Amino acid sequence: MTIELGSLGAYLAAAEATATDAVALEKAGYGAVWLAASPSADLLQAERLLDATNRIVVGTSVLNVWQADAQTVADSYHRIAGKHADRLLVGIGAGHRELDAGYASPVTKIASYLDTLAAAGVPADRVLLAALGPKMLRLAADRAAGTLTLQVTPEHTRRARELLGAGKLVVPGHSVVLDTDVERARGTGRAGLRPVLGIANYADNLRRIGYTDQDLTAPFSDRLVDSLVLHGDETAIAAGVRAELAAGANHVGVHAAGADPIGVLRAVARAVRDQRVR
């Protein structure tokens, strides 16, 4: 059985996430915390957050398969799942050619990694793949609970849902900037996108869904920034979350920019909750 995530999750950098943050997000109504920036194979960050909370799910978004040993991940999964049944998800990804030494044949590498997890008894419905292109999405449909995606739009979510079918999880993530000054918010968004859009996997995926080289050339088009970074007041950001859900997402992860990310995440959760009950 797939873990119940609710509609809203929060991204926190794995190295910086604290038990206090997780408790605050659980109280705010978040269904999951997603640990970003290549968590370690021992999953200690996830375990600390789960030990401190009662309900919230913790997932990795994502373990880099070139860095995190699969057998260690499997052992860590069993250690934690024994204490926190149905609250841990293992998100894995193939990394990027520009960043990972030895990068080659990502679908083959992920398939081999899944083989190791399965042989060690990690249930497929506790594993998510960071899948952008059709080949990786098909692998997610065949061998995992679904997909985690970043730097995507509702159009990509719609395509992912069509390919994975109704029974799989589709979990897109978005940066959010709580700022009603449009140009300033776009500037914050552009600063966050600049290193990401230099990575071929992300840029190629955006081309597949209709963006052009002009959109993807710095300083990046307004339409691209507006699609990838939800910004404005709480109501506008909640509308962006709703658009992803309407496109077929089960759950949307949000990563708050700014000096008070937990405060931003609380505000977004209130707005999403308010719009849901109207």
Under 8 Å between Cβ of 187 and 164: no
pLDDT at position 277: 47
Environment class of 136 (CB within 10 Å of its CB; exposed 0-12, middle 13-18, buried 19+): buried
pTM of the model: 0.95
Where do we find the tokens 């995530």?
Answer: 5
Q: Which of 41-45, 168-172, 274-278 has the lowest mean pLDDT?
A: 274-278
Under 8 Å between Cβ of 161 and 248: yes
Q: Write a three-state SS string for 156-181.
A: HHHHHHHHHCCCCEEEEEEEEEECCC
Average pLDDT, the chain: 95
Mean pLDDT value of segment 157-162: 98
pLDDT in tens, 36-46: 988 999 999 99
Domain residue spans in the chain?
8-277
Fold for domain 8-277?
TIM Barrel (3.20.20)
Taking the C-alpha atoms of residue 202 and residue 200, their distance in angstroms, rounded to an integer, is 5
pLDDT at position 1: 57
Mean pLDDT value of segment 149-161: 97
pLDDT in tens, 69-122: 999 999 999 999 999 999 999 999 998 776 766 777 899 999 999 999 999 999
